[in-house]
Structure 1
Amino acid sequence: MKLQAAGKSSKWFVYQKIVIVFILFLLPLISMNIWLNYKGMSITKHAILNSSLAGASFYSKQLDKEMFFIRNLQLQLLNDKDLQKLSFRGSMLENYEEVELIDQVRDRLSTLMVSSEYVVSTGVYVEAVGKTISTASGVTNTPNGEMKLISSLMKEKPKPSFYRSGNRIFLIETENNGGIWSYIEISRPKLLEALKEIAKLYPESEVLLGNKELGTVLTTANKMKESNEVLYLTEDKSMHDPNAPEMKKINGVSYFIVQNDVSSLHLSLLMYVNENEITRPLSQFITWFYTLFIIAIIVMVLYSFSVNLMIHRPLSKLVKAFHMIETDNLNIMIDSKTKDEFHYVFNSFNNMTRKLKNSIEENYEQKIALQHSQLKQLQSQINPHFLYNSFFNIYMMCKVGDSDSAAELSQKLGSYYQYITRSGADEVPFYKEYRHALDYCDIQCIRFSNRIAYEYEGISGVPPSISVPRLIIQPIVENVFEHAFEDGMMEGMIYISTDYREGRLRVTVEDNGNLATDEVVEHLREKLVMDSKYIEKTGLINVNNRLQLKYGLGSGVFISRSEYGGLKVELIIMDQKEGA
């Protein structure tokens, strides 16, 4: 049966109704859109300001959290048992024990310094031993320059949230009635760099950090005077909502000012933006709006004449053809007289109907159902003995005090069962499937008390875009553990490698077991070539059937003798995308 293009008709098609309705509403829409344009400008302006508020608030909270984090680490340092021991016992310590405690404290100080990019140096003064321990100057007897500097800063009353010495910023805390001083120098360049990141939110914006008592502590502006003026203009918080931007004039220029508190330092973070930078893009919007509106009308008129000839008629043929497909009539062909894109669509439709008919006749639907059921069956095969034995191994490790091995086995076991039980797509990236198989090897090697080991190669040569069916490598490795080393050999070895060349992915699993006789190898080969309907759907055979169904000839599982003396299993996938 062949369909011819639809001729002239008196019916009103959807595309014609759309064009007519558009024209009828065009004139009132012009006036409405003018009003919406001005309304939209106002909304956009507020949205931009709210965006600036959100951006500045985010960065200020990040900075505040970082300072809180550093302060918490400093307080934890003061309660460190080694530091407390050094302070309480002091001169009663033997030289060796004193040196050991000082080294422990130095390690803790080094850890604190690398915990944040804002920390320049950190140190402690221990009165009982008369020494300062610092990441900057090491272990030094007192009095010294570092102690004198900190001592002079601590005289400031009342105690501030932080201390300043010239351009240097310190966080200082004490413990044991002044027997221990902890001091951390904060990087002024890093703080300024953080402010500059906030200033990048808008052109011609500046950011400052300060308060009424201290004035401007840090600012991205070139002129400190301008920053001080902005700071004093925003001190009266009762005059505005602190969670919303406000507009102030400075030297005749209007600025939108966003204020956030950095409570860890008892400072305010202010970002001020020139109003013209926000409104300039919006002022150009009106001209462009009218220009584009007129162009849209012209394009719509031309489009309405061309859409019927170029799209509607051939599309009508395709719709009719699909209606016939819905009636289960697959004996249909669409005739095309043009050489445009619809010619390709019509030919593709014809090929589709022909292939669909052939596929149905060849029980294609049954094969897809079989493939899906096999995947779900394999995924549900969670071996209870494997789980029980693993828990027993964890129990025995805990009994003997091997907490590290127990923790490692628990982590690997959790990762293993999370992977095989979670729902989701039937296909996963190859590297995840490969990592899952290695997790299984780790678990088994721990369970077998390390009398079995494995070696593997990386997958650097495999394209990261390749996806494979879930659970195709682990059954092969599981087969090795269950059958290759049944005689209890003490030096079992498994070798896992990957190779990708010209669209073919190969995963090789070999062992040095001595149980795979030539008869066993030949028997496995025969089972792999048997029809999938008459054999058990587990292990190597299940993987072979799934790969052949999905990727066609050339893919599957192949058995041979390994050069290490045991069995060699090769899993091959022909990458259809690469071949295309």
Structure 2
Amino acid sequence: MIRLKMPKIAIFYKLVIVLLLVIAPLYGISMYLNQMGESSVRSEISNSMQSRVHFYIQSLVVELDRIQRLQREFINDDDLQKLSVASPIMSDLERTEAMIRLQKRLLLVKNSSNYIASANVFVPSLGKVINSLNMYTTASQSELAPLIDESKLHLSLVPHANGLYIAQQYPDRPEPDSIVFFLYLELSKQAIQQELKQFIAYNEEQAILFGSGFEWAITTDGNVERTEALQSIAESSSDGSSKPEMKAFSYANKRYIMTLEHSSVVDMTLLIYTPEKNALGPIQQYNTWFWVLSLSSVLIVIVFSYWLYRMIHRPLKQLVRSFRKVEKGNLDVKLTLNSNDEFEYLYMQFNSMLSQLKILIEEVYEEKIHSQKAELKQLQAQINPHFLYNTFFILNRMVKLEDYPKLKPFTKHLGNYFKFITRNASDDVPLSEELEFARAYLEIQKIRFEDRIAVEVDELPDDMAGVLVPRLTLQPIIENSYKYGLEEVDGNGRLSIRFLYAASASQLVIEIEDNGKGLSDEELWNLNRKLSDPPAHIESTGIINVHKRLRLKYGPGSGIKASTDGKLGGLKISLYIPVKEKDE
């Protein structure tokens, strides 16, 4: 099963993450409450603006409806009826007195509402317009035809010649050119505008009253372009419903909130708009402080985490770095900390531990060196008797055969051989001396086997001649080839010794190969297994002995490997000895 390695996270970041996770639920609840509060305030503001719009437009409808009722009641005025029907038979005095009384009653109608600028009545039989301003103007029905044509039975404001009127003709549906009289009241746009200004609650808030089909408008805003833009927005937003609507829009890179309501009674639309900052200013300010608080909380978490980092992580990090130096073998580390806390005690114990560790390492190291030297001498001592047994067997056989011509060189080489292994010198020798010793052994074996075995020894490279190797490294391997591979060969036996340099591994490889019977696959496997894990406390000679001594001296990567894939077809023993590169 594949186990994924999790990336390491520094303690500082862990502290920040943990503290953020702690405040995250509180922050989430605060944000939820903030959103609920904001939604509630928005709803209250919306309801407030819609209530104001609804109240004003209803008040306006009620007032206009009262004005129209006054107008309809005025139709039954006796003087108006006489002047309209019987003026031709009235005397001038009666006509004048009736007109004066009518004018006074028109003045009363005009004064009954601030919205009425003037009250007027057109009497076709007189050819005059009598108004509440003590004026009598001559007029004809054709001049007032546009206004007369727009007059309706239901309450409606009629725009005409930059004025705004509530008009009523008598009779309600006359035949063409048969109007008895025409009563029309001019509304004061200035009074309506002043009333709209009184209705404004916020700074920069504006109100607009649109007429039927958005043909006319009374506004408190002096910005004509903004009024036209709002008219377009209101036209697209209005669906004829009498329910108040609230929408947001942008104009000149500024956000506004707009509330409008349409009255189907008078076919008018009232629109109030205000900058968003006025209506939602407290919410935006609260949001600003909320985000300031949020950022401050994060900053406090980071500062607090950094304080914990300095107080805990930095001493701990210094301790970890010191441990890593110790792992690399540096025991001269010393920690200092000017604080009266647990880390001071920990640093003191660390320094004390290193002091004790240095003492123990020196003792163990010296003991290991003595142990290795003793084991090397023990292994070499195991070789000397072994070869001694074999040489005495050969001497005994030569004496029995009375082979005296060969006995003389044999004893000479034998003397040189024992002189080499018994001298009191270093345990290591140059490879050139080890090779000369091996040649002496080969001469002894050549005398023993005569011409049955041919030996080929490569020239030792000059730069490898000074390589130090344990004494008796080559001879036991050569002896093993004779004993187990070549001893029973009747003729054409071959033994090869080659020297190779593996630059990639910086190793000297010495190959000793014969064309003897070799080893079976099982025997070869058993031999390599013993070489990979040699027994520690069992007496060993030959190949395993040399392998153990090489491992003791050079460590892992050195030693012996056995194979049967050589050119001669027998057993090939490869010795691996680490050396420095040639150019060093």
TM-score range, shorter chain: 0.3 to 0.5
Task: Report the TM-score, using the length of structure 2 for normalisation.
Answer: 0.40
What TM-score, normalized by structure 1, do the two folds share? Answer: 0.40
Q: Which has the higher contact order (CA 8 A, sep 6+)?
A: 1
